Amino acid sequence: MGDLLMTVVDWSRAQFALTACYHWLFVPLTLGLGVIIGVMETIYYRTRDEKWLATTKFWMTVFGVNFAIGVATGIILEFEFGTNWSNYSWFVGDIFGAPLAIEGILAFFMESTFIAVMFFGWKKVSPKFHLAATWLTALGASISALWILVANSWMQYPAGCTFNPETMRNEMTNFWEVAFSPMAMAKVFHTVTSAWALSGAFVVGVCGWLLLKKRNRDHVMRSLKVGGWVGLIGIVLTSISGDTSAVQVAKHQPMKLAAMEGLYKGEQGQAIVAFGILNPSKEVGDSNDPYLFDISIPHGLAFLATHDFNAFVPGIEDIIEGKSMDADGKEINTVSYADRIEQGKMAKDALGVYQEACKVGDSITMQEQGNAIGDNFKYLGYAYLDKPEEAVPNVPLTFYTFHLMVTIGGYLVLFFIVVLLLLYKPKWIPWKEKLSKPAYWLAILTIPLTYLCSMCGWIVAEVGRQPWTIQDLMPNKVAISDLSAGYVQTTFWIFAVVFTALLIADISIICKQISKKSKTDLNVVETK
């Protein structure tokens, strides 16, 4: 039974990961390109220069194709909480459902109403109304991102709620703590601004291809100006909000931070690994060196995680043992994972007794057990773990994706600075004529790199918090639906085939549209 259950958990996780990854391939471009198109159309509206209208329409084509598949892959995610994670849906529906419902009411209707104006309203509404519709579509996409990220953040840092032993579920007690927790805000800004960076890189990359083909140079320059600036602003804000995110992770998910760094034993003034190769034979508790090779920056992790160069940052083994230190280097004890498992079991047992007492109306026992539940509830999820090591995420996957994300992010800062220098101060760049062709290719290759970076961010966020569906409260194996592994395996492959087929069509259409339109004169508006 245990093996079978794990298989269902694995397939459910695989299906959610598959659909989420596919969805995230399209969402950032919608978020960022919406802003880029909004800026372009605003310039057109202010200058009434038809060239800007042509450029706006060029990018709108890409936006439309990408938007459709984003919508298609998005519907699955919302309903998958119910279909594959039904226990989770019930356990926290009181809290988690609210952001999803607000997303629907506030964001989806805004997007779906005004995108029709954006594409079909050029001759039906005034330019001012059209511009408003374009911005409202972009705003709708961002509001949508806000609420779904609030929901996701709550799973990583369950704030603003309390456990009700009578209904046996978590219930919301403070809406604002759920909606505006520091974890949620950091995640929202980090994710949305990274989408601007991705879209900026996409625009610059496509412009690189157009320059390689020597097509529509004026249109390219217009696009580069907007794409370059949105990209640079996006990546700078992503870096800043990334720092805020890291501080939140250090505070609320220290195990994730330790996995991101491959850190098993922490110390005061902990160094950060700038580059490293993990030792594949390293296990929790053994004496092996975690790295085969590493280049570290002294005090780096301590500063980034806590903004204090001398702070102690616990490693995986420290966290399991419940060891930490205060700012003065004095050893302090947190709760070890073995103790958490015990406390979780006490909460679970008390809950069982509470329910029995509830049936016979034994209010004294209910009071006693209610107190026991309250004292131990924050570790309830550990009751389902057999040993502390089960609460350690996949370290290599978290470590490498985190470092890849940071490396590509750093590259993107430089990339956008160079793009804008080439645009505004070309004299400052030597040998630019000789380097132009490799630079165009570099711009093109930056597109897949940026997507890789974006995807790595999500892998860090989601793999790094395993095995929890809700941090410390509900592990994956308790969150699933009562389904057979074969059922979920079947739907996994159906979605894998369908989404892959749609992705192929999506890429093909975008490439053809860009190629076809770039052969026309993009200094004038197409009239049929």
Smallest distance from another protein to CB 66, Å: 9
Q: Does 527 bind another protein (CB under 8 A)?
A: yes
Residue 177's CB is within 10 A of a number of other CB atoms, namely 15
Q: Is 424 in the site for another protein (CB under 8 A)?
A: no
Q: Which stretch binds another protein (CB under 8 A): 45-53, 284-292, 394-402, 502-510?
A: 502-510
Which of 11, 44, 52, 108 contacts another protein by CB under 8 A? 108
Among 307, 512, 521, 524, binds another protein (CB under 8 A): 512
**Shortest reach from residue 42's CB to another protein, in Å:** 19
Q: How far apart are CA 222 and CA 230, in angstroms?
A: 13
Among positions 244, 268, 310, 355, the unique one binding another protein when judged by CB under 8 A? 355
Shortest distance, CB of residue 244 to another protein, whole angstroms? 26
CB 466 within 8 A of CB 393: yes
- Pick the binder of another protein from 27, 40, 43, 117 (CB under 8 A): 117
**Token pair 């700078």: residue:** 236
Q: Return the H-helix or E-strand segment holding 385.
A: none
The SS3 call for residue 328 is coil
Minimum CB–partner distance for residue 447 and another protein (Å): 18
Q: Which of 48, 120, 218, 486 binds another protein (CB under 8 A)?
A: 120
Q: Which is nearer to another protein, 27 or 449 (CB)?
A: 27
Contact present, 173 and 154 (Cβ < 8 Å): no
C-alpha dihedral sign at 411, 414, 417, 419? negative
For another protein, give the closer residue by CB, 344 or 464: 344
230 phi and psi, to 5 degrees?
Answer: -60, -40
Q: Is residue 253 within a helix (H) or strand (E), and if so which, with residue range?
A: none
Name the minimum Å distance from CB 324 to another protein: 29
| Residue 91 binds another protein, judged by CB under 8 A | yes
**CA dihedral over 243, 247, 253, 257, signed as positive or negative:** positive
- CA angle centred on 78, ends 77 and 82, rounded to 5°: 105
Site stretch for another protein (CB under 8 A), options 181-189, 253-261, 351-359, 361-369: 351-359
Task: Please report how close the Cβ of residue 186 comes to another protein at its closest, in angstroms.
Answer: 23
Contacting another protein (CB under 8 A), which of 244, 300, 384, 452?
Answer: 384
Using rule CB under 8 A, residue 100 touches another protein: yes
User: What whole-number distance in Å separates Cα of residue 300 and Cα of residue 344?
Assistant: 35
Chain positions 124 to 153 lying near another protein, rule: CB under 8 A, are: 124-125, 129
| Smallest gap from residue 129 Cβ to another protein (A) | 8
# of chain residues touching another protein (CB under 8 A): 97
CA-based torsion, 20, 251, 263, 378: positive or negative: negative
x-or-dash pattern for another protein, window 50-89, by CB under 8 A?
Answer: -------x--xx--xx-xxx-xxxxxx-xx-xxxxxxxxx
In the complex with another protein, the residue whose CB is nearer, 347 or 395, is 347
- Residues 142 and 160: their CA atoms lie apart, in Å, by 23
Are residues 203 and 220 in contact, defined by beta-carbon separation less than 8 angstroms? no
Shortest CB 335 distance to another protein, Å: 21
**How many whole angstroms separate alpha carbon 81 and alpha carbon 158?**
17
**25 makes contact with another protein (CB under 8 A):** no
- Report in angstroms how near the CB of residue 69 gets to another protein at its nearest: 6
Q: How far is the CB of 377 from another protein (least distance, A)?
A: 13
Applying CB under 8 A, which part among 108-116, 190-198, 273-281, 446-454 lies near another protein? Answer: 108-116
When binding is defined by CB under 8 A, the residue of 6, 46, 47, 116 that contacts another protein is 116
Q: Taking CB under 8 A as the criterion, which residues in 437-496 touch another protein?
A: 477-478, 480-483, 487, 491, 494
**Residue 127 identity:** P
- To which residue do tokens 């690189």 refer? 208
Judged by beta carbon, residue 54 or residue 419, the one nearer another protein is 54
Euclidean distance between CA atoms 324 and 308, whole angstroms: 15
CA-wise closest residue to 408 among 445, 382, 433:
445
Site string for another protein, 296-335 (x = CB under 8 A): ----------------------------------------
Q: Are the C-beta atoms of 78 and 526 separated by less than 8 Å?
A: no
- Which residues, 6 or more positions from 496, have their beta carbon under 8 angstroms from its beta carbon? 18
Q: Whose CA is closest to 241, among 149, 314, 179?
A: 149
In whole angstroms, give the CA distance from residue 273 to residue 399.
10
- According to DSSP, the residues that pair with 277 across neighbouring strands are 293
* Interface pick for another protein out of 348, 378, 403, 465 (rule CB under 8 A): 348
Q: How far is the CB of 173 from another protein (least distance, A)?
A: 6
Structure tokens at 472: 């410390």
The answer to whether 298 and 280 are in contact (CB under 8 A) is: no
- DSSP per-residue codes, 82-115: HHT-HHHHHHHHHHHHHHHHHIIIIIIHHHHHHH
Contact 156, 183 (CB under 8 A): yes
- Choosing from 6, 168, 423, 435, the residue that interacts with another protein (CB under 8 A) is 168
Between 250 and 479, CB nearer to another protein: 479
Site string for another protein, 264-303 (x = CB under 8 A): ----------------------------------------
Comparison of 18 and 459: residue with beta carbon closer to another protein: 18
The β-bridge partners of 468 are: 475
Out of 53, 98, 408, 463, point to the residue binding another protein (CB under 8 A): 98
